[in-house]
Amino acid sequence: MECVLVLVLFLCLCVHCSALNVSTVNVTGYKQAGSYLNSSVYVVDLPSDSGYVHPPMLVHLTGSRHDMGYAYGYLLSSEIKESYQYMLSWILRKLTFLQPELEAILDYHWNHHLSKSVPPVYQAELAGLAEGASKNGCSLCAQYITRAYVLANLPSDGKDIVKLLSGQYNSSTLGGPHVLPLLARRLSGFMCSMLGVWGSRTQGGKLFSSRNLDWKKDTGINKHKMVLVTVPDDGGLPSASLGFVLIYGPLAGLSESGLTVTEANLEENWESLDGFPWVLRLRFIMEYATDMTSARKLWESTNNTVGFNHMISSGKDATDYINNGGHSIVALVMETMYGYTAYFHDNDPRESDALYTPQDGALPVHIGYPLHEALWRTNHGYDPVIRAHFQWSQSPSTWSNTRYMDIYNALQYYANKKMGPLEVINITAIAGDKGHSHAYQCQDNNNGTNILSSVFQPQDKTMYVAWERSSGVNWRPAACSKYINFNLTNWFNPKPPMNLVTN
């Protein structure tokens, strides 16, 4: 019966597998909007029909750690402050009297927990950011950034948020009984996805990787979206971080050496904030690893916090994979929780062997369908230990499993076609949360929570990025926006490519 149901699902979905009609748009130039020392902020020029009311920025930072942070704070203080106010207004709504309580909790967890695992290089950047922003009139901008790190590092279950935040501070000193339930309501239910494909599945055997950020839509932070390119002068590798000004680091990213990094929630009951905040951890991997071997060693040398799925993939190893007959590890999924990481390659037997046993006594059913030269995750795991500590349902009918199968079915649809950028963008866009039952619907769709969608082609130092757009009834998911084609080849240098800069 299970096989019949899966076959019916596959046939039904594949009628629509290529029907999302994704499209891309090329950057036409970069307008310099400000500079400090050797760092600059640029507004990305796009064609008039791009659909973006507020075009993204490209922020190019170079120099010492202190100077890069200083330039970020100095040049973007007003954007940081405005984004923070948007976020706070969205969380608190009419309960603004809770702001001091909220900020006290976030500051406590940064100062006493998350910051303890941040390497000196990023501490120096944050110190520089505080100085630069203060110089331009925002004395609290660095705290706005670190508070955002804490919010980004929270689990995605309301009860879990309350348990984690209340368990690691003195509530009689800081308060919290009013704001913690509010955070539980506002910040629960995050859903993301990630994908890597390579080898015989793709044109030229190249690696493509992708990431959807399904968070909370229409908060206002999208006004200040950006690509952040950092080129440190201390030996750290250049990298590009995707996201928003309030998050100083990658929500997804691509390094000069061809590593890509992603994240998705994984609700586990082994959790702590005594670890490396994942936004900075992903940048750490991009700056100090050059391939999958060094990336795994760095990962193993640092600490997890709460449950997340992460994926690292390597363009260098994808090239080696083609040249050495398929013996290189091109991508890894890390299913994580505090004190534990499970590593997955493509076609992993733990995934194919995973069974779900219904509570009504029905026979167990398969929930994992791994493939060769493809690796993907949504918001559940397949390692037995991870599954034993997973706090949400693992039923095939969950939203996480539905989106996992959306990716699987799309990959099967393209099984006899070499995939290029548009095909991978299409799969990525299908998986982006556009509302239940709307995987293949973009026309006039303002459902869902997809606020960032990206596809990387690391061997060409190219990426395709879409952000949520408009607001209110006109809001549209990122996966329904045009994907902007960025070629980063010339941006991974201390000096920006002035031939691309317009007046």
Render pLDDT for 330-364 as a digit per residue (tens, 0 to 9): 999 999 999 999 999 999 999 999 999 998 888 99
- Predicted structure pTM score: 0.94
Beta bridge partners of residue 311, listed in sequence order = 262, 333
Asked whether residue 330 is assigned to any structural domain, the reply reads yes
Radius of gyration of the chain (CA): 22
pLDDT digits (tens, 9 = 90+) for 409-452: 999 999 999 999 999 999 999 999 999 888 999 988 999 999 99
| Cβ neighbourhood burial of 362 (10 Å; 0-12, 13-18, 19+) | exposed
Asked whether residue 108 is assigned to any structural domain, the reply reads no
Asked if 237 and 316 touch (Cβ cutoff 8 Å), the reply is no
For residue 1, count other CB atoms closer than 10 A to its CB: 8
Asked whether residue 479 is assigned to any structural domain, the reply reads yes
Asked whether residue 400 is assigned to any structural domain, the reply reads yes
Asked whether residue 294 is assigned to any structural domain, the reply reads yes
Q: What angle do CA 299, 192, 457 make, to 5 degrees?
A: 65
CATH number at residue 294: 3.60.60.10
Asked if 491 and 239 touch (Cβ cutoff 8 Å), the reply is no
Q: Which two tokens stand for residue 126?
A: 């944050």
Average pLDDT value over all residues in the chain: 93
- CA–chain centroid gap for 408, Å, is 20
Asked if 428 and 212 touch (Cβ cutoff 8 Å), the reply is yes
Asked whether residue 365 is assigned to any structural domain, the reply reads yes
Asked if 182 and 95 touch (Cβ cutoff 8 Å), the reply is yes
pLDDT at 7 > cutoff 70: no
Owning domain of residue 450: 2-25+190-224+252-494
Q: Which residue has the higher pLDDT, 2 or 135?
A: 135
Q: Which two tokens stand for residue 33?
A: 């909007």
Asked whether residue 144 is assigned to any structural domain, the reply reads no
CA distance 219 to 217: 6
CA distance 186 to 171: 20
Domains contained in the chain, number: 1
Asked if 211 and 262 touch (Cβ cutoff 8 Å), the reply is yes
Asked whether residue 215 is assigned to any structural domain, the reply reads yes
pLDDT at 307 > cutoff 50: yes
